[in-house]
Structure 1
Amino acid sequence: MTLAPPRYAFEDRLDQWIERRAAEPVYLDEENGMWRLLDHATVSRVLSDPATFSSDFSGLTPVQEDFEAFRTGMFLTMDPPNHRKLRTLVSQAFTPRTVAGLEPRIREITEELLDGVAGRGRFDIVDVLAYPLPILVIAELLGIPAQDRELFEKWAKVLFSGDQLTESSTMAEIEAALQMIAPTIREMNEYVLAHIRYHRANPSDGLTSKLVRASVDGESLTDQEIVGFVALLLVAGHITTTALIGNATISFDRHPAAADTLRGDPSKLPAALEEVLRCLPPFNELGRRTTTEVELGGRTIPANSIVMANIASANRDPGVFADPEGFDIARTPNPHLTFGHGIHFCLGTPLARMEGRIAFEALYRRYSALSVARDEPVEFQNPAMIVSVRKLPLEVEPR
């Protein structure tokens, strides 16, 4: 049986978003009481104005005691000045130079993973490469012992599932989902705290020791703040790369001429991967809370409202992107908002871009052709959580 080409659930809603954006780029979603923002200018404004559009949802979302430990250093959900302090300290350790220095080891890991399926004409790209690569890189970056890296894989699988949630989930359902992953959060917290304390007593050149040593104006990161950053790195860093590799595989399968171009000239991969990120952003929406009454798109939004900045719609705004529904691997400029905008621009962006580029350089060097298998179903992640694949069987032709 030949299956239809894989299609993401959110793509079925794109036409609706696009049609609504033209008529009403800012609207109240009556079903859940949230405001939806669809155009590039409004989404950019919201993401770049933390004073008006806060990332701190304290008091508006369920709180589990086990999650409080991670919030201390999770600057993704912080506003200035705490955000500035923590990001500055973390940036001292997680520098562009640190990331660039990982390239030889990322290449080695990539080759080792693909060696595991050498000679095979079919394999699952998620199982073989997209999922383990970022886990192994993050674990090595942090100096996690090799025998403990399976723990990171186990934690990631629990944290990424969220299969019981939908876009219309109630607070009670969200609370129940949090309760289910609380034991994993507790285990992570205890393990990472012990790891940090070990590195305080036994300094090295790794990222954990660098985080321990980071200091600005006499202020350093506490152990718990480092735990929060490690959790952020594990979750956000892993999701972004796994999604990028899987989404790029599907995008290049849909556009074989683009794949042929990239196989012949891998130097075009960086721009091509940016186009993948524009068209298939791992996170469709980013939430913010209004700190005061504000006007957006001609609508007055009350204080303490939740606004959802729709990245997928903004990335296809015809006022910013020529032929927004097209897939152009040479698109330039490409001001997509997939990695955020403003003070919360993703700190791990260079790492995700590097891992994606290295992965496809290796794939195109090894295989003269690769395509999504049409006799096995593609399994997607929960669309309410992330735009990514969980299972993606490939047919390949080794060179």
Structure 2
Amino acid sequence: MQMNVASEQVPNPFSWYRKMRREHPVVYDEQADVWHVFSYEDVMRILADHATFHKVLIPPEVQNTINPILSSVLQADPHNHRRLHNIVMQAFSPQVLTTLEPRISEIIDGLLEQVIVTGEMDVTNDLAYPLPVSVIADLLGIPAELHGSFKDWCDTIKREPTIETTNPKFQKMGEYFRQVLNDRRLHPQDDLVSALVAAEINGQRLSEDELLGFCVVLLASGTNSSTGLIGNAIFCFDEQPEVMDILRAEPELMSGAIEEVLRYRAPIQALRRTTKKEVVLGKQHISVQQDVVAWIGSANHDEAQFPDPENFDIRRRPNRHLAFAHSIHLCVGAPLARLVAKKTLNSILKRLSDIRRRRDIPAVPVRSAWVSGLKTLPITFKVSP
């Protein structure tokens, strides 16, 4: 079977997902030489069964051109990945995140102040993207005078699918972080890099390449997750404006609303794995060393797992979505993305009213089958009294 996945996916994939779950829950794409998997049960298995499905993000033909600091994190085997994950998660503990809240609020207020007098803004470019960039810069201890260069690095990572050693911007970024690591070893500070340098489990600490790799991955995944989540939330709220009134009246429902956004419009719609051994999925026999695409977006709309999945329900319980993957490959930036989104959306609903998406200026989706997000999301609003 041949599929033009990208054209089916953008911008509203739900009917295509439903059709594939019913007619071809596990299907081989001859043109792309890849298996596509759509049901919740099978996608969950792919994400959880590390003995059968290997996380391969860097194609073999380009591995020699990839910066080794990145491959050390992305290509870690399950044992080492678990060690990396556990160490890194120490830096995203509830205690650490609590200390970030005042600064996150300060950044949000500053960004809103720049647009609030105009009565309109582009949610993506005025708020959802610059916010996590600034937060992660602070997390990594980047001084204010280097925030411009830091944003440039983030923009470059966002544009380029691979991180090549020959790219001068990545070389400068690597050189800068090596200097930061050396400084934090000698002079620890109250920032994420110092926490990562000091973190250990059973006497083991991250190597310098692992630390550098994590910094790069955090720039890429941290900004994309938070940006996509905030933009998709406003888009979902615009589709059902009564949700904003409910959340203003009952702000304690915001955490559940964010989980429903993650289910309904997950920022990352699919992940790729490679089989380490022969496996049967959905009555299909898949041989070893076959690429498999696990469609998270489809799994999150599977009727077998979520009653009335096309209904956006901020009170949905339970909500075992797979937006941040699963098991040892659970996104390490998930707690930060949730915190940033919660504080941002609460601030928007508190300070702004009559929020409406501009129909005369289309919201521009990210043209990707793998990502659900918006390059632009123009809205109008009034300032709340």
TM-score when scaled to structure 2?
Answer: 0.92
Alignment partner of 1:281 is 2:266: yes
CA distance in 2, matches of 1:199, 1:314: 42
Aligned mates of 1:207, 1:23 — CA distance in 2 = 47
Letter in 2 for 1:304: Q
In structure 1, how many angstroms separate the alpha carbons of the residues matched to 2:265 and 2:150? 26
SS at match of 1:238: helix
SS of residue in 2 equivalent to 1:196: helix
Shift of 1:92: 3.0
What is the aligned partner in structure 1 of residue 14 from structure 2? 14
How far apart, in 2, do the equivalents of 1:204 and 1:123 lie? 36
Q: In the alignment, which residue of structure 2 is the partner of 1:224?
A: 209
**Unmatched 5+ stretches in structure 1:** 1-7, 163-173
Instruction: Give the alignment of 1:75-154 within 5 angstroms.
Output: 76-154=74-152
**Given the superposition, is the C-alpha separation of residues 102 and 131 from structure 1 closer, same or farther in structure 2, using an over 3 Å criterion?**
same
1:110 CA displacement: 0.9
What residue number does 2:288 align with?
303
Deviates more, 1:377-386 or 1:202-211: 377-386
Is 1:242 matched up with 2:240?
Answer: no
Q: CA deviation at 1:260?
A: 1.8
**Matches of 2:121 and 2:248, distance apart in 1:** 19
User: CA separation in 2, counterparts of 1:279 and 1:61?
Assistant: 35
> Could you tell me which of 317, 320, 332 is aligned with 1:347?
332
C-alpha deviation, 1:23, in angstroms? 2.4
> What is residue 46 of structure 2 aligned with on the other side?
46
Report the equivalent of 1:330: 315
- Counterpart CA distance in 2 for 1:56 and 1:332 is 33
Note the C-alpha offset of 1:305.
0.5
Q: Which runs of 5+ in 2 are unaligned?
A: 1-7
1:244 maps to a residue whose letter is L
Shift in CA distance, 380/186, structure 1 to aligned 2, threshold 3 Å: farther
Residue 320 of structure 1, CA deviation: 0.6
**In the superposition, relative to structure 1, how do residues 330 and 181 fare at CA in structure 2: closer, same or farther (>3 Å)?**
farther
Q: Which of residues 345, 361, 366 in structure 2 aligns to 1:376?
A: 361
C-alpha displacement of 1:206: 1.6
Structure 2 SS opposite 1:312: helix
Aligned-residue offset at 1:119: 1.9
Q: Is 1:211 the equivalent of 2:196?
A: yes
2:275 is matched with which residue: 266, 279, 290? 290
Q: Matched residues in 2 for 1:58 and 1:153: separation? A: 24
Q: 1:181 to 1:138 in 2, by over 3 A?
A: farther
- Is residue 367 from structure 1 mapped to residue 367 from structure 2 by the alignment? no
Amino-acid identity (%): 37
- SS of aligned partner of 1:211: helix
Q: Aligned residue for 2:34? A: 34
CA gap of 1:313–1:66, structure 2 versus 1, over 3 A, is closer
Q: TM-score, normalised by structure 1?
A: 0.89
Deviation at 1:263, TM superposition (A): 2.3
Deviates more, 1:362-371 or 1:257-266: 257-266
Instruction: Answer whether contact 1:70 1:189 (CA < 8 A) is retained.
Output: no
**Preserved CA contact (<8 Å) 1:66 1:182:** no
Q: Which residue of 1 aligns with 2:62?
A: 62
Deviations 1:75-128 (A, max 9, x none): x44222111222222233332321122112211211121112232211111222
Go from structure 1 to structure 2 and tell me whether the alpha carbon gap of 1:66 and 1:54 turns closer, same or farther (over 3 Å shift). closer
What is the CA–CA distance in structure 1 between the aligned matches of 2:165 and 2:159, rounded to whole Å? 11
Q: Which moved more, 1:382-391 or 1:47-56?
A: 382-391
Question: Which deviates further from its counterpart, 20-29 or 183-192?
Answer: 183-192
Instruction: Kindly report the root-mean-square deviation, in angstroms, between the aligned alpha carbons of the 2 structures.
Output: 2.1
Query: Distance between the aligned counterparts of 2:28 and 2:362, measured in 1?
Result: 36
Q: 1:387 aligns with which of 358, 361, 372?
A: 372
2:196 counterpart SS class: helix
Note closer, same or farther for the CA distance 1:368–1:387 as it changes in structure 2 (3 Å cut): same
Instruction: Report the residue type matching 1:49 in the other structure.
Output: D
